[in-house]
Amino acid sequence: MRAASVAGRARPEGRDGRQRGAHVDLLVVGLWLLTRAVLLVISLNPRLYSAAVFGDVRFYAAKVERMLQGELPYRDVAIEYPPGSVPFTIVPALVGGTGAGYRLAFACEMLLVDAVGLWAATRLASVVDHGRRRIPLAYVLAIVAMGPLLLLRFDLVPAVCVLLAAAMAAEGRPGWAAAALGYGTAAKIFPGVLAPLLVLGLVPALGWRRSLLRTVPPFLAGFGLTVVPALLLSVGGTADSVLFHVQRGVQIESLWANAIGLLDVLGVVQARTVNGFGAYDLSSSVSGAAKLLSGVATLAALAAAAWLVWRRARRDGGLGPADWAAAFTVGVFAFVLPTRVLSPQYLVWLCAPMAALAAGLAGRRALWVLVAAAAVSQVIFPFRYTQLRRLYPFDVGLLTLRNLLLVAACVLVVRAFAATPAAGRGTVDGRR
């Protein structure tokens, strides 16, 4: 009975449900087209926003230019990101070249990925919210708060992989969910921490053996799709794409650097901004300790997320359809908040799965707190980033506000997920 519940699908019932779904499609798609057209214009016009956001796209184009001249990724060309990122940087060059047209082609490619995200959100809504518009509408509107970085970084790719995984798990397709997490891991590492949560959420209903058999092979298939060819080209170069980030310092926007910045403003320690690994870090007498503690805190947070998911799954005999997006969101928060790097585009990782929580009141509250954090983050980068690097008190305070909003959003998601009664799993918090 419980296995059927895990795999069950809530669909709109009757003629009214079908009519509602059609109406939602027209409204949501229309809003998506309008908002994305505006975002595309703003993203590509530095006079309307800022040319500071173009740096990574130029970096992608420069790397691809070398590949098109015959050099191989990871063997001849050092790639900062894991192999799942490479197809998404090469395709725009094949369409628009590596010159002026690359930026437009890359942004349009991200719009296609965004459309897949909207499709996943709509599909999830048909399972957990009777086809109502709340989840896809939240996806359309909330993710715009990420600003031009949404289209000028490829972080939307792993974020959409997580949303797809939540939709597939809600439909009772754990293999497809695992495959989506596998490819997301190959693109940007962080979806890998969600794979254990997928297994833990299935075990009470399916048992350990069936849960592992239904998730591990497809996860490895999704992961190996791009990683295996990269390893054949260069094991060392592929490993360096991961170790590059392990070696990074205390990035200026992280919670750890935020604390150091506050101590500097108060005159307790002296900190200065240094450039390393393509980002700005804070160097101080306590930065080494912060770097060490961040690793410990991240492991502890991930363990806590796994325990929370396991407790919920055991209590209810497995996670229900509406639980998966919240469980994955908790996992992403556990990975993002305690680490020593918290780049502005990381908020995209959170926004995609959190949009799926809009079916419940607590989920909507958490989502709008995240939207507020994203809006503040846009003020910090790119508009006041120079001031933050100089540790001006106002800008350190602005960063503190952004990070407090992220912590608040995390607390709201955790409370909603932990408190959801078994009888009310149609939404995140049991309320419609």
Q: What pLDDT does residue 241 have?
A: 80
Q: Is the pLDDT of residue 431 over 60?
A: no
- Residue 4: is its pLDDT beyond 70? no
Mean pLDDT, the chain, rounded, equals 90
49 neighbors 158 (Cβ within 8 angstroms): no
pLDDT in tens, 221-271: 999 999 999 999 999 999 888 777 777 889 999 999 999 999 999 999 999
Kindly tell me if the per-residue pLDDT of 18 is higher than 90. no
Q: DSSP label at 71? A: P
Determine contact, residues 361/429, Cβ cutoff 8 Å: yes
pLDDT value at residue 421:
57
Q: Give the Cα separation of 57 and 231 in Å (integer).
A: 25
Q: Would the pLDDT of 16 be above 50? A: no
- DSSP symbols for 167-228: HHHHTT-HHHHHHHHHHHHHHHSGGGGGHHHHHHHHHHHHHHHHHHHHHHHHHHHHHHHHHH
**Residue 334 region, left (φ>0) first, then alpha (ψ -120 to 50), else beta?**
alpha
pLDDT in tens, 340-359: 999 999 999 999 999 999 99
Is the predicted pLDDT of residue 12 greater than 60, yes or no?
no
pLDDT higher than 50, residue 20: no
Q: What is the pTM of this model?
A: 0.91
Write the pLDDT tens digit of every residue in 133-155: 999 999 999 999 999 999 999 99
- Nearest alpha carbon to residue 154 among 335, 24, 380, 345: 345
Q: How confident is the model at residue 5, as a pLDDT?
A: 43
Residue 423 pLDDT > 80: no
| Reported confidence tier of residue 7, pLDDT bands at 50, 70, 90 | very low
Confidence of residue 11 (pLDDT cuts 50, 70, 90): very low
pLDDT of residue 418: 85
**162-209 pLDDT tens trace:** 999 999 999 999 999 999 999 999 999 999 999 999 999 999 999 999
- Nearest C-alpha neighbor of 260 from the set 235, 237, 280: 280
Candidates 170, 85, 158, 112; CA nearest to 336 is 158
- Between the alpha carbon of residue 344 and those of residues 240, 349, 366, 385, the distances in Å are 23, 10, 18, 11
Q: Where are the alpha helices (DSSP H) in 266-392?
A: 287-316, 324-336, 346-355, 361-378, 385-389
Contact by Cβ (8 Å): 253, 380: yes
pLDDT for 429 equals 42
Strand partners, 272: 283
With a cut of 90, say whether residue 22 has pLDDT above it.
no
Instruction: Say what the pLDDT of residue 244 is.
Output: 72
pLDDT tier at 420, thresholds 50, 70, 90: low
295-339 pLDDT per residue, tens = 999 999 999 999 999 999 999 999 999 999 999 999 999 999 999
CA angle (251 as vertex; 381, 345 as ends), nearest 5: 45
Helices marked H in 12-155: 14-44, 55-68, 86-96, 101-128, 134-142, 149-152
As a whole number of angstroms, the distance between CA 257 and CA 263 comes to: 10
